[in-house]
Amino acid sequence: MMKNQLAGLMKQAQAMQDNMKKAQDQLALIEVEGQSGAGLVKVVMTCKNDVKRVTIDPSLLADDKDMLEDLVAAAFNDAARKAEAASAEKMSGLTAGMQMPPGFQLPF
């Protein structure tokens, strides 16, 4: 009986690992957009934190360099938060029904 239970657990663990790999691959394809300055600066990145595009409204190019740098940083941070939320939502399906310790995050 114990051997069958262990085999079942191993099978479940392998299936979960396969599902996690598929989810990671899907996250690399999901893009989110962060904005700052009412959309004057936009950063598009994947849920794997690969920045794909940075768009800066031409009206900002003549403005203060420090302000532009702050807006780019804010847009990046906005995109990173959205990517984290999308990743958490995608991964929540994998951990449904599993008892996870408080504060535990999957390695993505």
H helices present in the chain, as ranges: 2-27, 65-92
For the record, the structure tokens of 63 come out as 């403005």
Mean pLDDT of 83-88: 91
Mean pLDDT of 47-63: 91
Mean pLDDT of 47-76: 92
pLDDT at 89 over 90: no
CATH of 30-86, one of 3.40.50.10860, 3.30.1310.10, 3.10.150.10, 3.40.50.300: 3.30.1310.10
* Confidence at 104, pLDDT banded by 50, 70, 90: low
Decide if 88 contacts 100 (C-beta within 8 A): no
For the record, the structure tokens of 21 come out as 């790999």
pLDDT tens for residues 6-18?
A: 887 888 888 888 8
Domain map of the chain by residue range? 30-86
pLDDT tens for residues 92-103?
A: 777 665 555 566
Answer left, alpha or beta for residue 42, where phi above 0 means left and psi between -120 and 50 means alpha.
beta
What is the longest distance spanned by two Cα atoms in the chain? Answer: 74
